[in-house]
Chains A and B, each alone.
Chain A
């Protein structure tokens, strides 16, 4: 490393760390991830429910108990009139209500299929769908017990002759389907992208606005050196932030690390390169800080969106699936989930690493060319 580059980097370090608020905010971004990990989940848990029991029999109470016992639901109201349920739902106090008709126990005892009604707030379709699935599971167990008892009572076919299939579902990589593991990792990835793009872009535009850019241009510093000096201090800071984030995920939230931490850091540096590439290119295009920041907003959202962090890629419309290949975050998230949760290594993840490297080098190359052109 030559002295020119070192001098330039010293200047960048000093300049960068002078804005204390900025440094704190960057570190805080990684801390905020922890709040998300703690709070956010897409699974139905503690969902407030209300019940109208028109039968008031031992059977109906047993059914209500079965609902209330699940972690998914929390019984908040038992109403005397079915009409009260409407009010509770309109006010948003409950999203789910169970109506048990007066002839419930009579039907059950007679061996007829007893019907209960579920009122569901369908606004949030995925929550409503999950609540229905939970109910289906509950009734499956309930019904199976009753059917087995009936068959046994009649003696027909006997206990030993019931052809059935049991499907043991095993969830790989995340046996308890802990949403927190997923969200910690993806939020971390999004922060890497966000800061990776914003900070270098802002650093370049600041020089432009201050007019010091011209001064740098007439020094013997080359475009490559300039970019390297701008990027390296930030990469160091981001590595610190990333380490905080990873440490929190692993120790506070129990995110497993099944693969190699070194591989993860290696791929993270590649991700820093490609996100800096986007940022530097933006810095060469935008005229002032406001434009830069708004442009960053404009670009970051689609990039974050098209990565599979908010929606699994396989759920997207076909055209959008193709677009995801344009987002470096896609490769990074795949690598990250692969290393942490699946424990896979470079032998599977090399395409992702390669894509990130090419992405970064290509963008940084274009930016250097643009610098040179503005020099000429």
Chain B
């Protein structure tokens, strides 16, 4: 026991002497949180837009005006020809160009279907998709009004063109559709999976690089005491990060907390122990700090970022990768996080996830310690 305490003391002293590391461990998560929450806004607005109006009639101007009125488009360019419009897209100046043909108003007056073209820059598929949805909706609204006016002028025909089926959406858990409510809780699992394992892996590989680990091996200190003493400080840092993120989420981003914060903290215990143990595992696999960092990135940060369902929905992935995502604890933790934060569901719903998380951690700790012991022996 005294061995653990002396390693603990040494480790704390080392962390303390390097305020740089401590500062990064504490502030980097906050920087990440702010960057993500402010920038990761996939709501599209002020889309730079151009119009080639070859008709120049009141009707065509009205059609364009509908785009401007939505507030989503920023009409900045009036290229004279379709070729000029394409150059605007090439240069990335405009993201959308609407081409109105010369016979637009004539066709409408004759009761036909006027065909307008919209060019959308598809290099950013997500925003292109949103733009596509907007353009469709705007065109629908315009056409519906045209039809309604036309039938109204003919007499009592308006009900003919009323929509047959209308969908009334009811949005749950995040009714305002605020992306911060999704991003900020989702980041908790990612951040806890990135820094604590990295720090603990570096702490051990550092001693390997320096050669000071040999001295510890020849000392009467038991391997488990060394591991425990090395890992506890980083667990404490990890919990510090967790509390900091929770407070920022709650009081800065005003993310709702529908469930019980205590249940959430309970779930984070196995997760945090697990993350630090991955660091230990990484340290048994690598010799240099750079390699340890890259391996930690590959094993922890990337999967938790990509396969936890935080940014990329798991149901869209190929089956094989859906199975792959079950191998990373971040997935279970993130499910619990959303359950607690947004849905307010309790233990009865995510007992399975919690059990898997606990099992995972036990397995990790055992594996890492075994590998570590073998090295010593």
- Please report A residues at the B interface, Cβ cutoff 8 Å: 19, 21-22, 25-26, 28-29, 32, 35-36, 38-48, 63, 74, 89-92, 108, 111, 113-130, 132-133, 135-137, 139-140, 142-143, 146-147, 150-151, 154, 156-157, 160-175, 177-179, 182, 198-199, 202, 209, 289-291, 293-295, 297-298, 301-302, 305-306, 308, 310-312, 314-317, 320, 334, 337-338, 341-342, 344, 348
Contact = CB atoms under 8 A, between A and B. Distances in A.
A151 B162 CA distance: 11
Contact of A29 (B21, B164, B294, B321): B294
26 contacts: A19-B290, A25-B294, A35-B321, A40-B306, A43-B125, A47-B313, A117-B168, A123-B182, A130-B133, A133-B133, A139-B163, A156-B160, A163-B150, A165-B142, A168-B115, A172-B86, A174-B125, A293-B293, A295-B24, A301-B35, A302-B35, A310-B39, A314-B46, A320-B38, A341-B123, A344-B90
Interface in B174-201: 174-179, 181-182, 195, 198
A25 B154 contact: no
Contacts of A121: 171-174
B175 A122 contact: yes
B24 A297 contact: yes
Contact of B160 (A21, A45, A150): A150
Interface stretch (B229-237, B243-251, B342-350, B357-365): B342-350
A113 B165 contact: yes
A158 B198 CA distance: 72
- Which of A21, A122, A344 has the most C-beta atoms of chain B within 10 angstroms of its own C-beta? A122
A258 to B, nearest CB: 11
Given A171-B122, A302-B31, A305-B39, A122 B172 contact: yes
Interface stretch (B3-11, B106-114, B220-228, B263-271): B106-114
B113 A165 contact: yes
Given A40-B306, A90-B349, A123-B181, A297 B39 contact: no
B122, B181, B195, B345 pick with most chain A CB within 10 angstroms: B122
Contacts of B335: 92
A167 to B, nearest CB: 4
B153 to A, nearest CB: 10
A25 B298 contact: yes
A168 B100 CA distance: 11
B136 A167 contact: yes
A123 B122 contact: no
Contacts of B132: 169, 171
A174 B75 CA distance: 23
Nearest to B86: A172
B315 A47 contact: yes
Interface stretch (B272-280, B281-289, B366-374): B281-289
A45 B126 CA distance: 13
B136 to A, nearest CB: 6
B111 A169 contact: no
A36 to B, nearest CB: 6
Contacts, number: 372
Closest 6 CB pairs of A and B: A161-B111, A174-B122, A133-B133, A122-B174, A171-B122, A125-B177
A42 B179 CA distance: 14
A162 B147 contact: yes
Name the residue in A135, A156, A314 with the highest tally of chain B Cβ atoms < 10 Å from its Cβ.
A314
A31 B163 CA distance: 50
Given A40-B312, A117-B170, A157 B91 contact: no
Contact of B165 (A142, A334, A344): A142
Contacts of B312: 39-42
A336 to B, nearest CB: 10
Contact of A143 (B163, B321, B345): B163
B165 A63 contact: yes
Interface in B95-138: 95, 108-109, 111-130, 132-133, 135-137
A342 B90 contact: yes
B116 A167 contact: yes
A126 B298 contact: no
Contact of B44 (A26, A150, A315): A315
A22 B306 contact: no
Contacts of A91: 345, 349
A95 to B, nearest CB: 8
Contact of A89 (B116, B151, B172, B307): B172
Given A120-B171, A121-B173, A166-B116, A160 B92 contact: no
Given A165-B142, A302-B31, A291 B122 contact: no
Contacts of B118: 167-170
B172 A177 contact: no
Contact of A166 (B113, B162, B343): B113
Contact of A136 (B137, B206, B345): B137
Nearest to A104: B165
B84 interface: no
B354 interface: no
A124 B186 CA distance: 10
A291 B18 contact: yes
Given A115-B167, A163-B111, 14 more contacts: A21-B288, A22-B291, A39-B318, A119-B170, A136-B167, A163-B109, A172-B86, A178-B125, A289-B202, A289-B289, A293-B290, A314-B48, A315-B127, A341-B122
B68 interface: no
B164 A19 contact: no
Contacts of B209: 209, 289
A132 B342 contact: no
Nearest to B36: A305
A293 B289 contact: yes
B333 to A, nearest CB: 14
A45 B322 CA distance: 13
Contacts of B317: 39-41
B133 A136 contact: yes
Contacts of B240: none
Nearest to A137: B136
A118 B75 CA distance: 33
Contacts of A25: 291, 294-295, 298
A310 B118 CA distance: 25
Given A125-B177, A142-B164, A168-B118, A118 B151 contact: no
Given A157-B151, A298-B24, A165 B295 contact: no
Given A121-B172, A129-B177, A182-B123, A113 B162 contact: yes
Nearest to A138: B167
A137 B129 CA distance: 13
Given A123-B182, A163-B108, A311-B42, A132 B313 contact: no
Contact of B20 (A178, A291, A310): A291
